[in-house]
Chain A
Amino acid sequence: MTAFAMLLLGSAPAPLAAQESSFSQVERGRYAVATGNCQGCHTIPGEVPFSGGRGLETPFGTIYAPNITFDEDTGLGLWSKDEFYRAMHEGIARDGSRLYPAFPYPHFTKMPRDEVDAVYDYLASLPRVRKEKPENDLPVPLNWRFALRFWNWMFFEPGEFQPDPTRSAEWNRGAYLVEGPAHCAGCHTEKNLAGADKEAQHLKGGNLENWAAPSIRGGTHGGLEKWSEDEIVEYLRGGRNAHTAAFSTMAEVIELSTQHFTEADLKAIAVYLKDLESDEREEPEEADASVLAAGEAIYLDNCNACHVSDGSGVPRFFAPLAGSGKVNDPDPTTVVRVILQGARSVPTKVHPSPLSMPAYDWKLTDEQIAAVATYVRASWGNRGSPVTADEVGELREALKE
């Protein structure tokens, strides 16, 4: 950007341009922002939307999302459309520094220019909030942003989404949303040591912020193999379906993002996910019979009232455990964490009741939680490996921080 353009921008800031945007352009931007769930990271829950400051815990440290309202000092007020597109497309900030890929530009790069411009116009139309973001909490050398050059060289390929001409328009729309703005891989793909997606593990499940995100591949051996397209749509729309209920991070994604999608877009996502096959799973290690017996007794005393003695739950009310992707996940983090802390189903437009499970951390010991988790993971056709008391203890400690 030239000095002249900078000057121009300084004297004629973006809001003027925003006022010129047509209603339909702003609405298009609003929808694109919902597809990208920008609000999720860029808002501290309860504060002004998009005013930033929320921390994302990564294995490397905490990265804080900036204010993306158009305040001139602390937000995007001085940014041009070109600069905004460069950030979304290449991960480069207005001052030329590199953005951390916690900002999912490896996905947003797939968004076409006019879509990104609409996002810009929408954000420019919002009330401006003055709010500085906290400094990132990253160790040397990760706080040297030029190190990201190397990361990008290794793991990042800029480029807008290219449709596959051999596939339907619906499949391509789904692929665009999943791999582009919705950035599902952010949680649902395992990361390598540098924090980049492991390509071979694409959408086969990941772990972040002490949650295990299950496989969302819908073809043979995938985590959503037993879900129909309609059930995927129902889940993303209302936060519940016959198999499960959303809570935690996915609850927020549904609340702020997917429940606002058009029916056609949800269907497109379902079509795409159902097309992704996966690898056959190894048989889990067998659980000890005495542990299973103890787990069953604990289950009948504590879990049975809602989840029912055969694990069938009350579909759309209290999550079934039989066949649950979370319960069957090779990584038991989520099932153990839910027993420790409880869980709250997301209230949505379709299902406003935030039906919740209480915490058991004060009631059950590590050993008891391990036993009941092992029991539900090995019962009613489930195939999750046993959980040890040490694993429970470690998670209990980690959650205290």
Chain B
Amino acid sequence: MARKLPHVDVVLVGFGWTAAILAQELTDEGLTVLAIERGAWRDTPTDFPPTVAPDELRWYWRKEMFQNNARDTITFRNNRSQTALPMRRWGSFLPGEGVGGASVHWNGQTWRFLPSDFIAASHNRERYGELPEGMTVQDFGVTYAELEPHFDRFEKLCGIGGKAGNLNGQIQDGGNPFEGPRSSEYPNPPMHMTFAQHQFAKATAELGLKPFPGPSANMSRPYTNPLGCQLGPCSYCGFCEKYGCGNYSKASVQTTILPVLIQKPNFTLKTHNEVLHVNLDKSRTRATGVRHVDVQGNEYDQPADLVILCAYQTNNTRLMMLSGIGEIYNPATGQGLVGKNYCYQIMSSADVFFEDKYTNEFAGAGALGMVVDEYNGDNFDHSGLGFIGGGYIANWTTNARPIESQPVPEGTPSWGSAWKKAMAENFLKATSVGAHGASMAYANNYLDLDPTYKDAYGRPLMRMTYDFTPNDVAMSAFLTERMKEIAERMGGREIKLNLRDGPYDSMPYQTTHNTGGTIMGTNPSNSVVNRYLQSWDVPNLFVMGAGVFPQNAGYNPTGTVAALTYWAAAAIRSQYLRSPGPLVQA
């Protein structure tokens, strides 16, 4: 029997970026806010100080930084003819767990999606005609212009370093000329570039492209954000993605919001408690709160006026399914929406080996890089190419962590003395150019509940059915060719191409940019949540995160996830609280 707890105004499920932003915004509104996080409390000096932060074995290889998949994981298959099996060890993507969520272990590459990305369906239809059979791409229901002030707020919260390419419609030298108009320059200058970025910039400029510094949440200088929180300058140690930053140099929940939020009397954070489902009233159109369980197995009912799902994309989708909110998507019939339009991204890369130049990639940072955006989104003409979308091509120097980084030329044996010799010769003289490809939604890629496997509480696991699509494969082949042209011009002795042509393999690490499942849209027949991220079925339930993306763009998603969160928070503050109910009439 669940014990009933005292009422709060708002309950947030999970405590990563989106929950922290909402907690800060809604406590400012005077509401009592409770966040429930299934992982542990984590802070910089206790959990990842500089004395233990760069422990590659512990954090990455032994997965101490990530969701505990001995208790709850995802089953995976490439298509419906296969039987999905549980991922017992994370590989292709790395969901976070604990206070701060993935904000603790992200790289810090902080993008805005292109204006055309938000209207992908109508824009591409207009320019290229009908979308191919089976592609289920649709518009977000919110525009870049509407999100612009919210992108701006997040970039200032985080102290993003970069160079504007479009200031209020004026194209700026040195920035990304393709980006949507921004209302102000980045709050910090770009990071210091290394030898490899200079070679990339030279090569791309020679090809007539416009290289620009990647927008970085690793601090290019000491920064105090608008809340008064302090971030230290990056020391370029290269332990960003998969690691907590010991030097307060990476924007995270811990460095940007928590010091202020944790002091507020109307905010409470409960850790080591997992939300089992959203409680609904008899009409099933109103959430009464959530059911959660502590580590001793005691269950609680937490009443709240407003329930907001802020967990990772797959977990939000699964909570909707486990709570019986909306209909689970069925690809055989096309009926149902929860779990629909699961998307990922497609990455390929080219290693460049120099003969007598040192790249010293051990000195790097998660978002230290130069980028070109000519082949992203609809920045180029796709006529006759057989795909839509694209991706950026970049030279990031994120790290050379010794267990993970083994740059050796084509044809090197994978072990033994020849491999050791090649490692010794190339470790300090290699760099990599990567293509960060978008992922378009197809009817056959989706999420649902596994019929066989269950989590520690006996609930069905999330089942992922995914493979690279014809659009992904054609796009990746195109991007890889462009990338190759750049890599070959960077002055190296040789290059090595790392293609990604399918089928999708869930083991090698690719990216933690999983999207869809609780998609947003213009009406209840095409989406789970409306343009304000409010559930169509249960108006006092909101769903945050990349699960609301109808398809995935050729950028890292955090900037857009955060902008959508600020946008939803503004709608709750200015509209919903005055008149609780649907913010969009169906």
Contacts and interface: CB of A to CB of B under 8 A. Distances in A.
B44 A363 contact: no
Interface in B238-289: 246-248, 255, 259-260, 263
B222 interface: yes
A305 B247 contact: yes
Interface stretch (A143-151, A344-352, A384-392): A344-352
A353 B230 contact: yes
B524 interface: no
A353 B259 contact: yes
B237 to A, nearest CB: 7
Interface string A347-363: 10011111111111001
Contacts of B82: none
Chain A interface residue count: which class?
Answer: 20 to 34
Nearest to A304: B235
Contacts of A302: 50-51
Nearest to B228: A352
Q: Secondary structure at chain A's binding surface: helix, strand, loop or mixed?
A: loop
B227 interface: yes
B149 interface: no
A353 B260 CA distance: 8
Contacts of B232: 306, 314, 317-318, 355
B233 A314 contact: yes
Nearest to A364: B51
A358 B50 contact: yes
A305 B235 contact: yes
A342 interface: yes
Given A306-B247, A317-B222, A358-B51, A351 B45 contact: no
Chain B interface residue count: which class?
Answer: 20 to 34
B4 to A, nearest CB: 28
A352 B260 contact: yes
B434 to A, nearest CB: 27
Nearest to B234: A305
A382 to B, nearest CB: 22
Q: Which of A306, A342, A359, A363 has the most CB of B within 10 A?
A: A306
Contact of A314 (B222, B228, B255): B222
B255 A353 contact: yes
Given A317-B222, A360-B51, A305 B229 contact: no
Contact of A352 (B49, B229, B248): B229
Contacts of A355: 230, 232, 248
Nearest to A315: B222
A342 B45 contact: yes
Contacts of B233: 314, 317
A352 B222 contact: no
Interface string B39-82: 00000110001111000000000000000000000000000000
Contacts of B222: 314, 316-317
26 contacts: A302-B51, A305-B50, A305-B246, A305-B247, A306-B50, A306-B247, A314-B232, A316-B230, A317-B222, A317-B230, A317-B248, A342-B45, A342-B49, A350-B228, A351-B224, A351-B230, A352-B260, A352-B263, A353-B228, A353-B255, A353-B259, A355-B230, A356-B49, A357-B49, A358-B45, A358-B51
